[in-house]
């Protein structure tokens, strides 16, 4: 354990003296508070007193370090071994470990900034929010769900409004089919679960369906331009954020090989995948790109798994949340992964560690028909998650919603 002693001692040396503050040491980035130059919800939190921040977070950081000690130990030794096996990498063995500690200790809690409602009325038995997305500039976000309504909100107004009742700037009702659709594609033989646009080529989109096919479409053509046989129900599709040619999708199982897989394709050769990632024990409900080379997948086996597109094995499994039957949402901002849970909570993971980093519990809001039910009798779950991307790529604000139609704008602090 002597190898682990050094980085942990370095961490201790960065903890300031609360009673008599001294200038921060050179490695103080591990425990420095986040940037407070922005108003709440726009990249940071308001700083009242820096010393108060240290007092309130020092104990919680020590407690979390203790709880994640084994995880951090494994991270340290895995980085050390990778340096030994890869001679071309930087010889400073502590760089990656110090970065891991910095990301791990950056945030201490999840703070709600605003609350919205997707429910139409108190008597509506189901108000599940199924999707949340921001526009390109993150000025507006749209919410859709089982009430067949798409509601668009202005982010700045929601955050800055002193009143806790927020109205959408636009609302579209879709009773059966969208009225006056711009485009409509009909080739799938069964229910379509997922649609995604290619960020590098906005005219290209992909869809996944229960007919075990992934279809590629162009907004300039009426028919699909290509089709991929998945041999299993396709639950999710996602284009790479850095390449117009690469696509990942998750399936609900392949009986012949006994795995529920994530498939990674180069669209220039759709006959066979570049990689098939195996490891989930149940249906893969989400597959999202963390960056150009890493994919995180969610499954109803209550696990998230991290993959590298160049390696067939799982890099890391994330456990802590509960997900056995519902779509609970999945999103990543590059370093952190957020997902919902069937205990009505939001779970946050850092991609370098397996254990839960932070959680946020939604309040149980009972309708008029459910007022006599106990809180333990409810079956609410967090159903959708979306990060608000910042121009520099960093983001500490996300939006989450649950099966009651409650929407929370949350900030990591």
Q: How many CA atoms lie within 13 A of 36 on its CB side?
A: 9
CA nearest 141: which of 155, 122, 121? 155
What are the structure tokens assigned to 412, written together? 């990591």
Is residue 314 located within the same domain as residue 334?
no
For the chain, the C-alpha Rg in angstroms (whole number) is: 23
Question: Which helix (H) or strand (E) covers residue 284, if one does?
Answer: strand 284-289
- Residue at which a domain ends, from 271, 287, 319: 319
Distance CA 260, CA 284 (A): 6
Residue pair 401/382 in contact by the 8 Å Cβ criterion: yes
Burial of 287-306, coded b for 16+ CB within 10 Å and e otherwise, reads bbbbeeebbbbbbbbbbbbb
Q: Are residues 194 and 313 in the same domain?
A: yes
Q: Helices then strands (H, E): number in the chain? A: 5, 24
pLDDT at residue 127 in the model: 87
Full-model pTM: 0.82
By CB atoms closer than 10 A (0-12, 13-18, 19+), residue 374 is: exposed
Q: Is residue 160 part of a domain?
A: yes
What's the pLDDT tens digit per position in 12-41?
A: 444 444 444 444 433 333 444 455 456 667
For position 224, which CATH number holds? 2.130.10.10
Do residue 281 and residue 398 come from a single domain? no
Domain C-terminal end among 280, 299, 319: 319
Domain end, chosen from 293, 319, 345, is at: 319
Point out the residues of the chain with pLDDT beneath 70: 1-40, 42-57, 82-93, 120-125, 175-184, 254-258, 366-378, 392-393
The two beta strands, 314-319 and 260-266, are: unpaired
> Does 24 fall in a domain?
no
Inside any domain, residue 56 = no
Domain hosting residue 311, numbered range: 189-319
One domain, residues 238 and 209: yes
Residue closest to 207 by CA, chosen among 219, 220, 218, 216: 216
Q: Map residue 31 onto helix, strand or coil.
A: coil
């Amino acid at each position: 354990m002597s190898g682990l002693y050094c980085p942990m001692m370095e961490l201790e040396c960065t903890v300031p003296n609360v009673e008599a503050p001294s200038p921060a040491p050179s490695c103080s980035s591990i425990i420095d508070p986040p940037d407070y130059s922005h108003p709440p919800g726009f990249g940071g939190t308001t700083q009242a007193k820096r010393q108060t921040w240290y007092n309130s977070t020092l104990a919680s950081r020590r407690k979390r370090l203790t709880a994640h000690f084994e995880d951090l130990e494994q991270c340290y030794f895995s980085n050390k071994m990778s340096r030994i096996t890869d001679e071309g990498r930087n010889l400073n063995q502590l760089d990656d470990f110090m970065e891991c500690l910095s990301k791990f200790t950056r945030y201490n809690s999840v703070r709600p900034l605003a609350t919205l409602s997707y429910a139409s009325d108190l008597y509506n038995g189901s108000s599940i929010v199924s999707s949340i997305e921001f526009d390109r500039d993150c000025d507006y976000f749209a919410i859709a769900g089982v009430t067949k309504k798409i509601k668009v909100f202005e982010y700045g107004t929601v955050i800055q409004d002193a009143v806790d009742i927020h109205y959408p700037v636009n609302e579209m009702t879709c009773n059966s089919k969208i009225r006056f659709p711009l485009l409509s594609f009909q080739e799938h033989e069964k229910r379509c679960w997922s649609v995604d646009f290619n960020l590098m080529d906005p005219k290209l989109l992909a869809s996944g369906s229960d007919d075990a096919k992934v279809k590629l479409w162009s907004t300039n053509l009426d028919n699909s331009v290509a089709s991929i046989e998945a041999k299993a129900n396709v639950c999710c599709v996602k284009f790479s954020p850095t390449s117009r040619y690469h696509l990942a999708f998750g399936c609900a199982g392949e009986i012949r090989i006994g795995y529920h897989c994530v498939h990674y394709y180069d669209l220039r050769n759709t006959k066979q995948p570049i990689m098939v990632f195996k490891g989930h024990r149940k249906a893969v409900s989400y597959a999202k790109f963390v960056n150009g080379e890493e994919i995180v997948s969610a499954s109803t086996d209550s696990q998230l798994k991290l993959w590298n597109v160049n390696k067939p094995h799982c890099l890391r499994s994330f456990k802590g949340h509960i997900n056995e039957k519902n779509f609970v949402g999945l999103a990543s901002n590059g370093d952190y992964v957020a997902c919902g849970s069937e205990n009505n909570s939001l779970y946050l993971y850092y991609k370098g560690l397996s254990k839960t980093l932070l959680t946020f519990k939604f309040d149980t809001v009972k309708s008029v028909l459910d007022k006599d039910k106990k809180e333990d009798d409810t079956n609410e779950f967090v159903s959708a998650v979306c990060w608000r991307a910042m121009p520099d790529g960093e983001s500490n604000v996300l939006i989450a919603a649950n099966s009651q139609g409650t929407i929370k704008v949350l900030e990591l602090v």
